[in-house]
Amino acid sequence: MIQLWSLCVPVVIRLTLVAPLLAIALPGCTPQTERPNFIVILTDDQGYADTGRYGAIGFETPNLDRLADEGLRFTDFYVPATVCTPSRAALLTGSYPKRVGLHEAVLFPYSEHGLNLDETTIPELLKPLGYRTGMIGKWHLGHQAEFMPTRQGFDSFFGVPYSNDMDGHLYRGRGFQSPPLPLYENEELVESGPDQAFLTKRYTEAAVQFIKNNVDDPFFLYLAHNMPHLPLHASAGFAGTSERGLYGDVIQEIDWSVGEILAALEEAGLDQGTLIVFASDNGPVLRPDAGSAGNLRGGKATTWEGGMRVPGIVHWPSRIPKGSVSGEVATTMDLLPTLVSLAGGEMPQGLDIDGHDISPLLFQPGDATSPYDALYYYSRDGLPEAIREGAWKLHVAKSRGWNQSDGEFPISLFNLEADPGETQNVADDHLELVERLKEKLVQFDAALTREARPVGQLGGSR
Ligand code: MG
């Protein structure tokens, strides 16, 4: 990043004339803090309560705690989907999954579609700004060659194209037998059915190597762990180490991975100039041997808070006030415009997305307010089920997470500030608000449906 010093020089000279002390102390003008590196760490099905600062029970996450203590922890951080594929599409495109045509459940090894190559991804916007772009881990936006990460803006890829449970699985309804889990290096299949106990470790080693290889250039690394998606696997050094069984062991290994990345950044002198985001792709599978959403209702595949509110930690020691906690609504859709802004770029004219530049929330967490007028919750199958406006959340339907034997799902209104667990339906006390929010959800979905762009079809992409 030597060239970045030159960007600072005129600023320093100007400030030196009027405020010598300020110029000397100017924290932004070091090679480390101009144009940060970005590392987005995404875990799979990790629950809201499954890191230390969010209330983890039965395992320790000292490195994730450190990220939160040195950075910013969002209490109301969301993914705009309840399952893997749409969540990842949203993160990389800054859009509700329906806008990019990937709102219906997940891709399978027999699927013949993927993220349309015409979509604009984070790495595609960062590359022209001089960033090196790498993806490690679980992709899940199309496993056919034409949809792979290296066709979607990433210089390099090491990982698997979909979920770890799609490993040699027979899809009876389709009569389709999937191959052993394929492990790729760029577009080359390098291993079939890798021992999943070592996935987290191997991804971590690849991430550390990526950092070492890119000390002199700004970089964007998207590290998407397969874990803790079922079936769970931890390597020998972690298996049996937590009081929470294998799930706790797996999270402790992910936490170790975060520590390795922090150490690699420090060793490379990049720790102050790297922004790290840590989040999960959706809520936990609600089983005793899996994750926890804490006091939030519901889990994966549901539009209750537990399905879509996830841990959200941002770490950038030189810019974010230490130990910040924000209760403002933010989402993974915000990463695209925020990263582009922090990299000094501009959003392309005419690119229609749903995320916002949340830099103010990162740098003035006590003062800035959420850019969201409302947040929309789509079901696993892409149907609009709920809307949040301020503290109010209205549910109009519930395809999952509702026992149909209890009768038809009633329109339900909750005040998330007073009742984050969504236990007290107060719809009857706020009839006008219910009607207004209902209409707002209908209108939003109608507009999004109108504006939605096509999913990529095999052989149909450029
Ligand atoms: Mg997931």
List pLDDT tens digits, range 174-212: 999 999 999 999 999 999 999 999 999 999 999 999 999
Give how many domains the chain has, as a whole number: 3
Continuous H helices in 40-150? 62-70, 84-93, 122-126
For residues 7 and 54, state if they share a domain.
no
289 occurs within a structural domain: yes
The 10s digit of each residue's pLDDT in 433-447 is 999 999 999 999 999
CA dist., res. 116 & res. 461, Å (int):
7
Band of residue 5 on the pLDDT scale cut at 50, 70, 90: very low
- Do both 94 and 212 map to the same domain? yes
pLDDT reported for residue 404:
84
Q: Are residues 49 and 26 in the same domain?
A: no
* pLDDT at residue 25 is higher than 80: no
Measured CA to CA, the distance from residue 123 to residue 422 in angstroms comes to 37
Q: Are residues 302 and 402 in the same domain?
A: no
Do the domain assignments include residue 369?
A: no
Distance CA 137, CA 146 (A): 18
- Domain end among 329, 363, 397: 363
What integer pLDDT is reported at residue 13 of this predicted model? 35
How many angstroms does the Cα of residue 188 sit away from the middle of ligand 1?
25
The verdict on residue 368 lying in a domain is: no
160 token code pair: 């698997």
Query: How confident is residue 16, by pLDDT bands cut at 50, 70 and 90?
Result: very low
Q: What is the pLDDT of residues 153-166, one digit of tens each?
A: 999 999 999 999 99
Q: Residue 379: give the domain boundaries.
A: 375-457
Cβ atoms within 10 A of the Cβ of 197, count?
Answer: 15
Residue 284 shares a structural domain with residue 337: yes
What is the per-residue pLDDT for 394? Answer: 98
5 and 25 fall within a common domain: yes
Q: Quick check: is 208 in a domain? A: yes
Distance 85 CA to ligand 1 centre (A): 8
Mark the residues whose beta carbon lies below 5 A from ion ligand 1.
Answer: 44-45, 84, 281-282
Active site residues: 84, 140
Whether the CB-CB separation of 282 and 83 falls below 8 Å is answered with: yes
Q: 45 CA to middle of ligand 1, Å?
A: 4
Q: What is the CA(30)–ligand 1 centre distance, in A?
A: 38
pLDDT value of position 22: 38
* Shared-domain flag, residues 93 and 130: yes
What is the domain-level CATH number for residue 176?
Answer: 3.40.720.10
351 and 436 part of one domain = no
Say which residue, 105 or 57, is predicted with more confidence: 57
* Predicted pLDDT at 154: 98
Residue 462 lies in a domain: no
Q: In terms of C-beta density within 10 A (0-12 exposed, 13-18 middle, 19 or more buried), how is residue 260 classed?
A: middle
Are residues 187 and 281 located together in one domain of the fold? yes
Residue located via tokens 């992910």 = 254
25 and 41 co-located in one domain:
no
Tell me the per-residue pLDDT of 35-52, one tens digit each, with 9 for 90 and over.
Answer: 999 999 999 999 999 999
Q: Whole-number mean pLDDT of the chain? A: 93
Per-residue pLDDT, 33: 52
Determine which helix (DSSP H) or strand (DSSP E) holds 188, and give its type and residue range.
strand 188-192
Distance 336 CA to ligand 1 centre (A): 20
From ligand 1's centre to the CA of 50, what distance in Å?
Answer: 14
How far does residue 229's CA lie from ligand 1's centre (Å)? 7
- 424 vs 105, which has greater pLDDT? 424
Query: What is the 82 CA–ligand 1 centroid distance (Å)?
Result: 8
Q: How far is the CA of 432 from the centre of ligand 1 (A)?
A: 36
Q: What is the pLDDT of residues 373-426, one digit of tens each?
A: 999 999 999 999 999 999 999 999 999 999 988 899 999 999 999 999 999 999
Q: Is residue 22 part of a domain?
A: yes
At 144, the pLDDT band (50, 70, 90 cuts) reads: very high
CA of 10 relative to ligand 1 center, distance in Å: 47
Give percent above pLDDT 90 in the chain. Answer: 91
What does the pLDDT read at residue 460?
Answer: 78
- Model confidence pLDDT, tens digit, residues 110-137: 999 999 999 999 999 999 999 999 999 9
Q: Are 69 and 323 in contact (CB under 8 A)?
A: yes
237: left (phi over 0), alpha (psi -120 to 50) or beta: alpha
Is 80 exceeded by the pLDDT of residue 26? no
Cα of 231 vs centre of ligand 1, distance in Å, is 12
What are the tens digits of pLDDT across the range 257-272? 999 999 999 999 999 9
Residues 243 and 351 in one domain: yes
Q: How far does the centroid of ligand 1 lie from the alpha carbon of residue 175, in Å?
A: 25
- Rounded to an integer, the average pLDDT of 234-244 is 97
Choose one of 332, 363, 394: the last residue of a domain.
363
CATH number for the domain that contains residue 409: 3.30.1120.10
The two tokens of residue 241 are 């180490």
* Residue 448 placed within a domain: yes
The domain boundary residue, chosen from 336, 363, 390: 363
> Exposed, middle or buried: residue 62 (CB in 10 Å: 0-12, 13-18, 19+)?
middle
Q: How far is the CA of 196 from the centre of ligand 1 (A)?
A: 17
pLDDT at residue 260, as a whole number: 98
**Same-domain pairing of 344 and 452:** no
83 C-alpha to ligand 1 centroid (Å)? 5
Does residue 370 form part of some domain? no
